[in-house]
């Protein structure tokens, strides 16, 4: 495991006896999907790529925005100028950091129709998402297909993380019956977020991932860890199977309601004055033709990955599969109307 500049790329990691040569070889043979390449996902993905995890899938639906640069460490102002989706920008930066690792970036929405295809076939799922509806969907895939995943979330100066190993630990639905109702909990829009807590929680998350992938899964924590970086308070909570109830619908009942499409995913994007619109049945847009048409109604920018259209106080980021992120509104009905007006029904 020698890099092109000479010397052993992973020598300091191999000297750590809990990993050693055998653990490093297991990391090289392992695979992980990072679901969401925002603040948490960018830190975790960077650690895992640099540690030599053999295959990494980076999954994200969004593009790099100016407000991301405060805490999403993989991105630069050039990514912003070049209209790069996060998954592509993250892929490019991590390939430049470690050419030995197979890294793919996928620009898609994670939903009930795409989850099995996007998340299965990997040894571990790392949570970098920003909403509970998607996390409950990941939980369904994890339990149904026997793939461990590591839940994590941050808000303000507080963060939590928990390992979920099907058949061994509690799952997310043991921790909470349902996703919180819209408006029931603060979001990064209302409470903000400090970059340092992201680094703390993502580092713990990546450390647990290294235990799992290097052949030491028995050393993974079975507790929910909470850290308040402002008060320096740390809490550990044991979450029993079923959450102390008699029966967990997912773990015990094998009811995968979110995977079957039961979930009510909010189209409003966390941290953005924006709504995502996915046309029924998807689509296959000719972005060049669309750019020519929209150019008569407003300002248009294009990259190899997307089209961005600005008019009348709104900005539409449109992807080749027909999906669009509409900035300037938090009203899903208004977003769908704008989509129909400018892209088509």
Contact 61, 131 (CB under 8 A): no
What ranges do the domains of the chain cover?
11-244, 274-342
Residue 214 has pLDDT above 60, yes or no: yes
| DSSP single-letter state for residue 230 | T
The dihedral sign for the CA sequence 23, 29, 30, 36: positive
Which residues are identified as catalytic?
A: 188
Structure tokens at 161: 């993380």
Q: What topology is assigned to 274-342 in CATH?
A: TATA-Binding Protein (3.30.310)
Distance CA 286, CA 100 (A): 35
Q: What is the pLDDT of residues 58-77, one digit of tens each?
A: 999 999 988 889 899 999 99
The pLDDT score that the predictor gives to residue 130 is: 83
Q: pLDDT value at position 238? A: 93
Instruction: Give the distance from CA 289 to its chain's centroid.
Output: 31
- pLDDT tens-place string over residues 96-145: 999 999 999 999 989 899 999 999 999 999 999 988 889 999 999 999 99
> DSSP characters for 60-101?
ES-B--GGGGGT-TT--HHHHHTT-BHHHHHHHHHHHH-TTS
Higher pLDDT, 343 or 262: 343
CA distances from 49 to 9, 20, 28, 215, 221 (A): 12, 17, 10, 17, 22
The per-residue pLDDT for range 184-205, each reduced to its tens digit, is 566 666 678 899 999 999 999 9
Per residue in 18-37, pLDDT (tens digit) is 999 999 999 999 999 999 99
Mean pLDDT of the chain: 89
The full 3-state SS of 165-223, as one line of letters, equals CCCCCCCHHHHCCCCCCCCCCCCHHHHCECHHHHHHHHHHHHHHHHHHHCCCHHHCCCE
CATH number of 11-244: 3.40.50.720
With contact defined as beta carbons under 8 Å apart, do 56 and 105 qualify? Answer: no
* 193 DSSP assignment: B
Single pTM value for the model? 0.86
Whole-angstrom distance, CA of residue 166 vs CA of residue 257: 17
Percent residues over pLDDT 90 in the chain: 66
């Amino acid at each position: 495991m020698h890099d092109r500049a000479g010397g052993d790329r992973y020598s300091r990691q191999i000297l750590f006896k809990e990993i050693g040569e055998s653990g490093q070889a297991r990391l090289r043979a392992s695979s992980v999907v990072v679901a969401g390449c925002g603040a948490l996902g960018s830190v975790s993905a960077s650690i895992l790529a640099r540690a030599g995890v053999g295959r990494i899938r980076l999954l994200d639906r969004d593009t790099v925005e100016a407000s991301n640069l405060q805490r999403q460490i993989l991105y630069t102002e050039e990514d912003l100028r070049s209209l790069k989706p996060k998954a592509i920008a993250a892929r490019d930066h991590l390939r430049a950091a470690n050419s030995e690792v197979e890294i793919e970036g996928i620009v898609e929405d994670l939903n009930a129709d795409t989850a099995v295809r996007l998340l299965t076939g990997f040894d571990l799922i790392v949570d970098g998402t920003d909403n509970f509806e998607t996390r409950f969907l990941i939980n369904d895939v994890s339990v149904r297909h026997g793939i461990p995943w590591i839940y994590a979330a941050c808000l303000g100066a507080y963060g939590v993380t928990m390992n979920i190993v099907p058949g061994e630990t509690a799952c997310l639905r043991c921790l909470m019956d349902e996703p919180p109702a819209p408006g029931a909990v603060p979001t990064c829009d209302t409470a903000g977020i400090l970059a340092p807590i992201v680094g703390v929680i993502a580092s713990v998350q990546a450390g647990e991932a290294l235990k799992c992938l290097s052949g030491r899964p028995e050393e993974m924590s079975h507790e929910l860890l909470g850290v308040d970086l402002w008060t320096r308070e740390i809490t550990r909570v044991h979450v029993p199977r079923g959450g102390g109830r008699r029966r967990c619908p997912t773990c015990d009942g094998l009811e995968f309601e979110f995977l079957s499409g039961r979930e009510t995913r909010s189209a409003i994007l966390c941290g953005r004055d924006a709504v995502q619109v996915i046309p029924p049945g998807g689509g296959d847009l000719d972005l060049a033709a669309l750019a020519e048409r929209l150019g008569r109604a407003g300002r248009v920018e294009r990259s190899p990955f997307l089209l961005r259209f600005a008019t009348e106080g709104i900005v539409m980021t449109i992807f080749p599969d027909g999906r669009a992120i509409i900035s300037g509104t938090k009203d899903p009905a208004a977003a769908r109307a704008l989509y129909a007006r400018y892209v088509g029904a």
